Chains A and B, each alone.
Chain A
Amino acid sequence: MSEQNGSKHLPDLPSDKSEFWILRLYVAGHTMRSLTAIANLQAICEEHLPDKHHIEVIDVIEDPERASTDQILALPTLIRALPPPIRKIIGDLSNTERVLVGLEIAQRSP
């Protein structure tokens, strides 16, 4: 299960790279909780990071190796791979405000 949203075309990145967001969402199978987290993240990104984000969804049941290499323990886990530094959020992302704070979108958004 790999889902992209919006900016699939990396060559078309905005010139300011720090403003492009790569987000990885780790889930375990197609559970309600997984789907909730994916939907929540998509909604947040559409609203706050339009056209400057890339979401990668990783199902660790299919790819358990990834859980080890990326140090995933709790599920769902959201990792902000870009911009640095790496940030980690666990849970179904049901509280938008806290997701924004956790990802530091609140401060960065214009």
Chain B
Amino acid sequence: MSNTISTSTPHHLAKTPTGIYGIDEITAGGLPQGRPTLVAGSAGCGKTLLAMEFLVRGATLYNEPGVFVTFEESPDELMDNVASLGFDLDDLRERGLLWIEHIYLERSEIEEVGAYTLDGLFIRLAHAFERIGAKRVALDTLEVLFSGLRDEALIRAELRRLFRWLKERGVTAVVTAERGDGTITRHGLEEYVADCVIVLDHRVTSQLSTRRIRIVKYRGTMHGTNEYPFLIDQHGFTVFPITALGLDYDVGTERISTGVAGLDEMLGGSGYYKGSTVLISGTAGTGKTSLSSAFAAAACARGEHALFVAFEESPAQIMRNVRSIGIDLRPAFTEQYLHFHAVRPTLAGLELHLATITDQIARIKPSVVIIDPITSLISQGFNSEVRALFTRLIDFCKQHGITLLLTSLSEMGQDPEGTDIGVSSLVDSWLLVRNLEMHGKRNRGLYILKSRGMAHSNQIRKLVLSSEGISLIEIPSSSLQLTS
């Protein structure tokens, strides 16, 4: 998260960092300083929370006091709603970093007789600004004026005056508005806010909700144009920039052991590239979890941290099972080199899974991350979404030099080369494990389908899981027959 003001544009457009994770990345530094930004979205998509977090982060991270003008919710309702995000508004109010101005407007209680202005609004705003020396303001939402008052021409004239006035005062404003039918906002507020327009969206597909954010317009600056998924949890907003991360991470030539001597040998003698992404595909019971565990054990034995994300088995079950093949994960687990994140895939949406995994990575700082298996997430969404999720996770891991090992479960009778939910093109090394029939026996065979940037074996080797560990044995080519 950058806390500097970006001056990368020709006009040296000053920006105010929001302090909201991800938003400063996709806006290349924050919102236009001293100018209003429009945040549009339908009901329940997080406009109010975004506006509030903008003020809370401004107060806590940048010591910029802010005024929250609430037209809909009372201060008490507002505080209850954001308490779940871990914002202590009372504390900020006491420290003079936040002022909540509640504007109540109810058309049925008001009779309009003759000419009037909205000077009361201006006077109240000015008074609130002066009280705390506001640098930021959130207006949530001005559209209440349209339902509370009858004279629309007057409201529009006053809105124009209001935005001009806000700019003159040099406060950075976030103005929320309801999405319109075919327009950005229902009452056309975008007409007055020309500098920056952000749209929030909340969609439910396959009974799972995904929140998305998009910068529709940002005058005078480059910005990400994609829709970025975001999450609202106990830490507030998290926007996941996909392309903002780019492909500009360092690629090293450092190698990292797979934990299986025979497999290291197949991969040019020294294992995976550090910071690469590895996919192991195979049908049930072909040793994917065993290979993953060996990889984790080797990392922990080097004194590194490993994060094992288990979607199907409990940590105890994994540790018990791999002990039978001579891999003892328990010391690494008790000494907290090995961290398990065991969760049912159906427990959360894709975004939440990604968020919790990234959160754990940030906390644990592992050198290797294992996700076993990624196929559990298919039921969680459409393939394109799963692919997008992994693109982001892979980018994130590469940026941090973390080696990511993914396993993928192929259905019996399915071609394992075709069941990788579109992730295979994203990975650097792709290993396949499948059943072999030789001399009347059923064996496991492992081969490397691809491994970018290294000379690797093209053989199919017999994968033997015994109490002495995992070994890969060369098979005489004459005796080979694959089953499908």
Binding site for B on A (CB under 8 A): 26, 28, 33, 37, 40, 60-61, 64-65, 67-68, 71-77, 86-95, 98-99, 101-102
| CB atoms of A64 and B113 under 8 A apart | no
CA gap between A71 and B148 in the complex, in Å: 13
Q: Is A67 within 8 A of B114, CB to CB?
A: no
B120 on the A face (CB < 8 A): yes
Q: Which residues of B contact A95 (CB under 8 A)?
A: 113-114
Q: Which B residues, 110 to 141, have Cβ-Cβ distances below 8 Å to chain A? A: 110-121, 123-124, 126-128
Q: Which of B105, B113, B119, B149 contacts A28 (CB 8 A)?
A: B119
Q: How far is it, in angstroms, between the C-alpha of A94 and the C-alpha of B115 when the chains are bound? A: 8
Q: Would you call A74 and B109 a contact (CB within 8 A)?
A: no
Q: For chains A and B in complex, what number of residue pairs have CB atoms within 8 angstroms? A: 92
What 15 new A-B contacts, CB under 8 Å, besides A74-B149, A91-B114? A26-B120, A28-B120, A61-B123, A64-B123, A64-B124, A64-B127, A67-B123, A67-B124, A71-B103, A74-B120, A87-B109, A90-B113, A90-B149, A91-B116, A98-B113
26 example contacts (A-B, Cβ-Cβ < 8 A) are as follows A33-B116, A33-B117, A64-B127, A68-B124, A73-B105, A73-B118, A73-B121, A73-B148, A75-B119, A75-B120, A76-B116, A77-B116, A89-B110, A90-B110, A90-B113, A91-B113, A91-B115, A92-B114, A92-B116, A93-B113, A94-B113, A94-B114, A94-B115, A98-B111, A101-B111, A102-B111
Question: A102–B123 contact, CB under 8 A?
Answer: no
Whether A73 contacts B103 in the complex (CB less than 8 A), given A65-B127, A68-B124, A89-B110, comes out as yes
Contact: B127 with A93, CB < 8 Å? no
Enumerate chain A residues within 8 angstroms of B128, measured Cβ to Cβ: 68
Give the complex CA separation of A26 and B117 in angstroms: 12
- Measured CB to CB, the nearest residue on chain B to A86 is B109
The reply to whether A71 and B117 contact each other, CB–CB distance below 8 Å, is no
Tell me which residues across on chain B come within 8 A of A61, comparing CB atoms. Answer: 123
Let me know if A67 and B120 touch, CB within 8 A. Answer: yes
Given contacts A71-B103, A73-B105, A74-B118, contact A60 B113 (CB under 8 A): no
Cβ–Cβ < 8 Å partners of A92 in chain B:
113-116
B382 at the interface (CB under 8 A from A): no
In the complex, are the beta carbons of B118 and A68 less than 8 A apart? no
Q: Which residues of B contact A72 (CB under 8 A)?
A: 120, 124
Contact across chains for A67 and B127 when beta carbons are under 8 A apart: yes
| Cβ-based interface call for B104 (8 A) | yes
Closest to A26 in B: B120
- B428 located at the interface, meaning its Cβ lies under 8 Å from any Cβ of chain A in the complex: no
Residues of A within 8 A of B148 (CB): 73
* B116: contacting residue among A67, A68, A90, A102, CB under 8 A: A90
Return A2 CB to nearest CB of chain B, in Å.
18
Question: Bound state CA distance, A71 and B121, in angstroms?
Answer: 9
In the complex, B227 has a CB within 8 A of chain A: no
| B 377-407 to A, binary, CB cutoff 8 A, 1 in contact else 0 | 0000000000000000000000000000000
Give A107 to B24 CA distance when docked, in angstroms: 60
| Residue in A closest to B110 when the chains form the complex, CB atoms | A88
**Residue among B103, B109, B119, B123 making CB contact with A88, cutoff 8 Å:** B109
Q: Specify the chain B residue showing the minimal Cβ separation from A36.
A: B114
Between B111, B112, B121, B148, the greatest number of chain A beta carbons within 10 A of the residue's beta carbon is seen for B111
